[in-house]
Structure 1
């Protein structure tokens, strides 16, 4: 019920649709009772009393009632469907907007397919409650209320007999709801797992085929699919246990009515017309009893789905703005780390990191895989929060800046290149939609992407495939770099951004970056010495600690870890004696 209360916050924005929909549902119930009343009058007044002149009027009334009912059904369907679609739209938008605000760490712990199932299957379950469940629930209540209001004055005894088995039906419906909700929760969770399996397989289908793992993937899907089948089957077993009981009890109500009502007609306590009216209205009493199972089923599904949706909506972003956060028009680009440490899940990633970068300087960061290089640069735009120490930008703790303002002034080329299935121009101008084409071309020139782009049939308007399909690894990196360069941000971060680019192209990119009119403070993560040798300072990380720092010449002269890497990478070109002669004092 807690989830349904939360959904009310969305329903109340569309009270008009709700109220009008409910009114027309009530009209539908009233109009559906008219044929039963007309049946009674035809039997008692026309057939029994022989008043044939009344027959035509009753038949016309019958036609008008059915026409009116058809119109009422159309109107109430329009309003209930409008209500459900508006709630669905708002809930989807809120969930999508909230996902944009959540921190990187949230996405580290939640799979894409799982989140997609909340945006699709769970949302549809919520919509169905307001499109169908509400209609059945309200109609069932008013059927019982209106029918009993008509029948009790006619025969209290027969009315009580008609309702005699209702408490038992209600009891079994309650038991069904209690037992089936946790099972539906498992079904929705397994549906997410199944979605994740499919999404990962489709995204990585080229790797699957490259390693001939189609059979393994089919077995994995078969396992998840069987789990989904088993959980649905468990729900069906609970349903099959209780629903036949409720159907049987509903059918027994008919038997009681026929038996007891027939006796009352024979004894003359009620007319045959009244008994036929009871018989006509009996389905209106039995239908709600039979629908209880479906309604409970729908409410349970919706409750389980809404719970999963609100679990995401109620997840607080780990990275949030402070009150009175600072906003600046443009940063200078000075960056300082003061005794910064970072931990994930009680694991130390960075330990006591300190360094200073002046505006326009280039800081290179090297180290083995898993040494903390990407984690370090992710602290600058606050994708993660330092657990100890301070990250200062222009002398101000970056936690004091407005988050959007800070990130708008830090451009980053991430290690995992992602391009959208749009034109190359739109990909480059992603951060500034509608950007002038000349600026896009200038950024592409700096990243050495312009030449291959203009050789394409569509040039900058060429639409690329999902995640950049159709481009080579190096081409994707250069387009991604142009996307960051075009921002002209005071801080530029290249996270292994030239790993798939040949050394000649890399050299051209470096020269172009150095020749920019407005130089950014550049943070460069790389594994090749050629990428970092011209940096103002080079930091060598190992297990989250800075073990060496200095310029290329200083580090060669120190004969430490950097010196070993240099010798290894250039052993075919420069001998150790020449290194000693050129760089070591």
Structure 2
């Protein structure tokens, strides 16, 4: 229960619903117990009335007694019906309080987890896979809700009903109570162990289903590759293997489930037999009446579900505790990327790196070593280098996706850590290397990064990114819906949409991380011409492996293995005949060949 104590704040928040639910539960159990007494009274009344009727049978008094017997039975039947309806009504209220409470807490808990996900740094997502994150906010929260709803409801019902029924049974006969309850502990223990087996096999099925779903998702996502390499048969073969595994585990669960109800019925039947046998002997001895036996049988059946539920509730609590532990692991994660002074100011865009080094916390890879450079507000800088040289890491550090391991990064003379994160990022336009577009209209994707963007701004951003003509050819223009991750667009169109999304914000700092890698030379030149106008008045960081993109910048730095090996202007670097000149000549020759 230690892990589940995290939920106490929510139980306190909805304490009114919980208290009302307990009250309604007590009242509903009161109306559940009374019919057993009425049945006992009815059987005894009918038995005694028939005995008296047989004495006066055939006479006028016999007719009067029979009429009264009929009226009495009808009245008792109405009383039982009314009590059943009242019990049903209060059970409805129980579900409208306790179950509703569990749904409200589920809603709050999912929101708490999702908000935590949004606040955690990029390093967190590098360590955890998407499937696990999804499971914790869906499957784990659902299991916790089962504890908060049915678990609490049936648990309280057991605590309330058991003493009430035992008290009524002891009032009638203590010996008969002992024999009637004798099989129930065995029933609860048996169900506990059977439930554990069921839960274990259910988890195996969930894992198998998850594996099969993952395989299917990958097969659908990579259908082009499968078809291109003619691997359809292998794909079907592998799916059949996963499906066979799922079927095998499902049949094992069905086997255990098939034993579940017979076990319950057998033990309940044993309790009823003992009640009738021992009760029958006591009726013969004149200790109890026929009605008492019927009353006890009803009591035994009333206790059957709460005792049966004991093992089920225990399993629910165990699963909920395990799930809440997994949730708590993420809720306890801390975001180290926080603002020191929470400055909410507009930036001009002067960026300065002073002996900055960075090592990725999850992998231990040292990406940058003693990087120092400065770009004035309104100027542009190009960062070029081979794959793995640390170019994208610099972009991540400017946007504070990570904090530098050593050294200092400042913007406008202030440490980057002093700025409010949301304010800093809202003034930065970022075009990532790995473009991600949402399953929404292309217009909404372009306007994603800013509020209150006009249609004219969206159109202008599309024109600047050389995407407008493509969009106009789409069936619904800017309202055209994109597929998952923008699959309906080509690689170049996705990159241009990402550029439009960045520049529509009119950012003070524009970062383009290899933003033109998927476009051809002609399109690149068109976009670069537009970017020359766009970059005026704002600080621009152009990260690229193409020298053609770097030529636009006021200054250029060349990275290799996390270190600056050359820096200067395009002309000065060409004059040095170093690494930059070598890259320039190679790419120029490649363009001539193309």
Instruction: Assess same fold via TM > 0.5.
Output: yes
Equivalent-residue separation in structure 2 for 1:291 and 1:210 (angstroms): 55
Equivalent-residue separation in structure 1 for 2:200 and 2:413 (angstroms): 53
Equivalent-residue separation in structure 2 for 1:510 and 1:447 (angstroms): 9
Equivalent-residue separation in structure 2 for 1:228 and 1:464 (angstroms): 34
Alignment pair present for 1:44 and 2:62: no
Equivalent-residue separation in structure 1 for 2:233 and 2:113 (angstroms): 36
Residues 228, 371 of structure 1: alpha-carbon distance in 2 compared, 3 angstrom cutoff: farther
Shift of 1:498: 1.0
Alignment pair present for 1:400 and 2:418: yes
2:201/2:252 contact within 8 Å kept? yes
Shift of 1:486: 1.1
Task: Pick one of 57, 81, 94 that aligns with 2:99.
Answer: 81
Aligned residue for 2:283? 265
Equivalent-residue separation in structure 2 for 1:105 and 1:542 (angstroms): 23
Aligned residue for 1:342? 358
Shift of 1:495: 0.8
Shift of 1:318: 3.7
Cα-to-partner distance string for 1:377-409 (whole Å, 9 max, x where unaligned): 110111112111111111222122211111111
Shift of 1:147: 0.7
Task: Pick one of 325, 332, 335 that aligns with 2:342.
Answer: 325
1:123/1:305 contact within 8 Å kept? yes
Equivalent-residue separation in structure 1 for 2:107 and 2:559 (angstroms): 48
2:20/2:97 contact within 8 Å kept? yes
Equivalent-residue separation in structure 2 for 1:484 and 1:188 (angstroms): 41
Tell which deviates more after alignment, 553-562 or 119-128: 119-128
Alignment pair present for 1:256 and 2:283: no
Equivalent-residue separation in structure 2 for 1:44 and 1:325 (angstroms): 81
1:257/1:279 contact within 8 Å kept? yes
Q: Which runs of 5+ in 1 are unaligned?
A: 576-585
Residues 228, 498 of structure 1: alpha-carbon distance in 2 compared, 3 angstrom cutoff: same
1:113/1:195 contact within 8 Å kept? no
1:180/1:235 contact within 8 Å kept? yes
Aligned residue for 1:429? 447
Residues 396, 477 of structure 1: alpha-carbon distance in 2 compared, 3 angstrom cutoff: same
Equivalent-residue separation in structure 1 for 2:24 and 2:543 (angstroms): 66
Task: Pick one of 352, 368, 371 that aligns with 2:370.
Answer: 352
Task: Pick one of 137, 147, 154 that aligns with 2:165.
Answer: 147
Equivalent-residue separation in structure 1 for 2:209 and 2:334 (angstroms): 25
Equivalent-residue separation in structure 1 for 2:17 and 2:385 (angstroms): 61
Aligned residue for 2:393? 375
Aligned residue for 1:578? none
Equivalent-residue separation in structure 1 for 2:162 and 2:432 (angstroms): 63
Task: Pick one of 294, 302, 307 that aligns with 1:289.
Answer: 307
RMSD across aligned positions (CA): 3.0
Equivalent-residue separation in structure 2 for 1:397 and 1:216 (angstroms): 56
Residues 375, 106 of structure 1: alpha-carbon distance in 2 compared, 3 angstrom cutoff: same
Q: What secondary structure, in the 3-state scheme, does the structure 2 residue paired with 1:81 have?
A: helix
Equivalent-residue separation in structure 2 for 1:528 and 1:287 (angstroms): 72
Residues 107, 185 of structure 1: alpha-carbon distance in 2 compared, 3 angstrom cutoff: farther
2:532/2:552 contact within 8 Å kept? no
Residues 222, 128 of structure 1: alpha-carbon distance in 2 compared, 3 angstrom cutoff: farther
2:136/2:326 contact within 8 Å kept? yes
Tell which deviates more after alignment, 433-442 or 252-261: 252-261
Map 1:120-519 to 2 at 5 A: 120-169=138-187, 196-214=214-232, 249-322=267-340, 324-328=341-345, 330-344=346-360, 345-516=363-534, 519=537
Cα-to-partner distance string for 1:453-507 (whole Å, 9 max, x where unaligned): 2333322222222222322211111111011001111111111111122223322
Q: What secondary structure, in the 3-state scheme, does the structure 1 residue paired with 2:510 have?
A: strand
Residues 459, 241 of structure 1: alpha-carbon distance in 2 compared, 3 angstrom cutoff: closer
Task: Pick one of 101, 105, 111 that aligns with 2:119.
Answer: 101
Task: Pick one of 526, 547, 567 that aligns with 2:565.
Answer: 547
Residues 222, 117 of structure 1: alpha-carbon distance in 2 compared, 3 angstrom cutoff: farther
Shift of 1:253: 2.8
Aligned residue for 1:580? none
Aligned residue for 2:34? 34
Equivalent-residue separation in structure 2 for 1:206 and 1:114 (angstroms): 27
Cα-to-partner distance string for 1:237-295 (whole Å, 9 max, x where unaligned): 99899998776555433333233222211111111111210111111223222222322
1:246/1:289 contact within 8 Å kept? no
Q: What secondary structure, in the 3-state scheme, does the structure 1 residue paired with 2:589 have?
A: coil
Equivalent-residue separation in structure 1 for 2:367 and 2:535 (angstroms): 36
Q: How many pairs align?
A: 573
Cα-to-partner distance string for 1:168-215 (whole Å, 9 max, x where unaligned): 555556667888888877776776655555544444444444444455
Equivalent-residue separation in structure 2 for 1:86 and 1:264 (angstroms): 52
Aligned residue for 1:15? 15
Equivalent-residue separation in structure 2 for 1:76 and 1:128 (angstroms): 15
2:196/2:315 contact within 8 Å kept? no
Shift of 1:335: 0.8
Equivalent-residue separation in structure 2 for 1:237 and 1:300 (angstroms): 23
Q: Which runs of 5+ in 2 are unaligned?
A: 51-67
Residues 170, 249 of structure 1: alpha-carbon distance in 2 compared, 3 angstrom cutoff: same
2:380/2:539 contact within 8 Å kept? yes
1:177/1:296 contact within 8 Å kept? no
